[in-house]
Structure 1
Amino acid sequence: MKKIIYGLFFGDSITYGEYDGVFGGWVDILKRYALQKFHEGNGDELILFNLGIGGETTEGLLKRIPYELEARNSPDGNIVFLSYGANDLAIKDGVQIVDPEKFRNNIKAAISCARQFSNEIYLVSILPFSEKVNGVVVSSGKLRTNGEVLAYNQILKDIAAEHSLGYIDFYSAFLEDKEILLSADGVHPNEKGYGMMAEIAIPIIEKYV
């Protein structure tokens, strides 16, 4: 008897796939991959939901995660991906949107909520920013630094280790070639960057199809 497993991707505009008019972002590439695997008659059916919202922080996540999980709960099992931090760490009008301690607590609260529906939880690293926007106030009024990315990624790594969760390290994959993997805004990946993210995540998806 084949199982139907749900994969739920929570995150911001990078989860949503903003700036990728070709593939629709890394999650949408994975959606097509899982569907193709199912049509080939391999294993269980894995249905992926892209729950990314542009501009969202962990504060927004906590408001909706119980309802989203309740609405998309497969009796055969769920996989939950949490991809946050790029908006949390931003500074606007001299104030950090979600400070590190609050970020840590919010991620832990989200994990606690996800645990009620899934034992398969993955934390996703924050991507590095292009040097042209590192420490620069951009048109949205937000200022981000790569130093903060390191600090917030360390929080995610520590929580993943502490709770025995998966950790998807897109940061390291992007670091050396970030200037050619990021779009013109220096924050979001371009088609090439999203394609690389999907390639890194496919082995994880393979475990469930």
Structure 2
Amino acid sequence: MDINHLRYLAIGDSLTAGIGVPLLDPGFVEYYRYLSHQIFKRRIAYQKNARSGATTDDVLKMLNSPTVTEAVNCANIITITAGGNDLINAAKKFLVNKDEESISYAIKQTVNNISKILEKIHHLDKQDQYILRLTNLYNPFPNIPIADDGIRAFNSMLNKLSQEPNVKVVDIYSVFKDNEKTLLPPGGVHPNGSGYYQIALALSRGGYSPLLS
């Protein structure tokens, strides 16, 4: 690891893209980079590979791109946001077929895809020391009980991936729980500026081991 220079790669969906705030305003990626710089006192170069609406399958396919592969090879810090769109798509199907089993199946498939994403990154990353940070899902629909049930079930399964080397699942569900009016715009599903800052803060508080002992 170059002690004077760290590389940060952010991969994922609309949360990584920073949807929900004005174009030039920071999202959690920019905030997390700043907070990480404060910790390491080193220059942190960053690259963002994200698409609004991306599912876990889409994120997995991103890792086939030579540009992303090269970025993974060089990255000391990697963050991943994925899963929200998979669950939204499953919820839309549920509204049509009313089959709760289809929600359970979608949750298992989504976590399985994320496990494949981690496996691929572990295989690609050539750094001696690197960290992988996943965010769990917050609930933008707190008044819909089945939405909360599904998200908590997903988060519970996702937590098991924290057992993998260099991986930590960061809890943003609890950050947003009962704070939706402060961290989400009225009627919105994407965070406002305060929401994105709180995601970055949760990531930073999750620590940097083994990069920083």
Question: Normalised by the shorter chain, which TM-score bucket?
Answer: 0.7 to 0.9
Asked if 1:160 corresponds to 2:158, the answer is: no
5+ long unaligned stretches in structure 1: 136-143
CA distance in 2, matches of 1:43, 1:29: 15
Aligned residues: 195
Distance 1:31 1:147, change over 3 A: same
Residue 104 of structure 1 aligns to which amino acid in structure 2?
Answer: V
TM-score for both structures, normalised by structure 2: 0.76
Are the aligned partners of 1:82 and 1:123 in contact in 2 as well (CA < 8 Å)? yes
Q: 1:113 aligns with which of 113, 120, 123?
A: 120
- Between 92-101 and 46-55, report the one with greater CA deviation: 92-101
Query: How far off its partner does 1:89 sit?
Result: 0.7
Equivalent residue, structure 2, for 1:139: none
Q: Secondary structure, in 3 states, of the residue corresponding to 1:72? A: helix
TM-score for both structures, normalised by structure 1: 0.78
Per-residue CA distance 1:137-195 (angstroms, 9 max, x = gap): xxxxxxx8122111111121012235562111111111021222112233111122112
Per-residue CA distance 1:20-54 (angstroms, 9 max, x = gap): 1273311122234556x59xxx6443222222210
CA distance in 1, matches of 2:166, 2:32: 24
Are the aligned partners of 1:129 and 1:186 in contact in 2 as well (CA < 8 Å)? yes
Residue correspondence of structure 1 range 10-49 to structure 2 within 5 A:
10-21=11-22, 23-34=25-36, 37=38, 43-49=41-47
Equivalent residue, structure 1, for 2:190: 188
Q: Which has the higher helix share?
A: 2
Query: How far off its partner does 1:6 sit?
Result: 1.7
Distance 1:99 1:56, change over 3 A: same
CA distance in 1, matches of 2:152, 2:179: 17
Let me know the Cα RMSD of the aligned residues.
3.0
- Between 64-73 and 11-20, report the one with greater CA deviation: 64-73
Are the aligned partners of 2:176 and 2:183 in contact in 1 as well (CA < 8 Å)? yes
Distance 1:11 1:201, change over 3 A: same
Are the aligned partners of 1:80 and 1:114 in contact in 2 as well (CA < 8 Å)? no
Are the aligned partners of 1:4 and 1:74 in contact in 2 as well (CA < 8 Å)? no
Equivalent residue, structure 2, for 1:141: none
Q: Secondary structure, in 3 states, of the residue corresponding to 1:6? A: strand
Equivalent residue, structure 1, for 2:177: 175
Equivalent residue, structure 2, for 1:99: 106
CA distance in 1, matches of 2:142, 2:118: 32
5+ long unaligned stretches in structure 2: none
Give identity over the alignment, percent: 22
Are the aligned partners of 1:130 and 1:179 in contact in 2 as well (CA < 8 Å)? no
Q: Which runs of 4+ in 1 moved over 4 A?
A: 32-35, 95-98, 204-209
CA distance in 2, matches of 1:63, 1:53: 12
Are the aligned partners of 2:49 and 2:68 in contact in 1 as well (CA < 8 Å)? no
Distance 1:29 1:188, change over 3 A: same
Distance 1:71 1:205, change over 3 A: farther
CA distance in 1, matches of 2:46, 2:35: 10
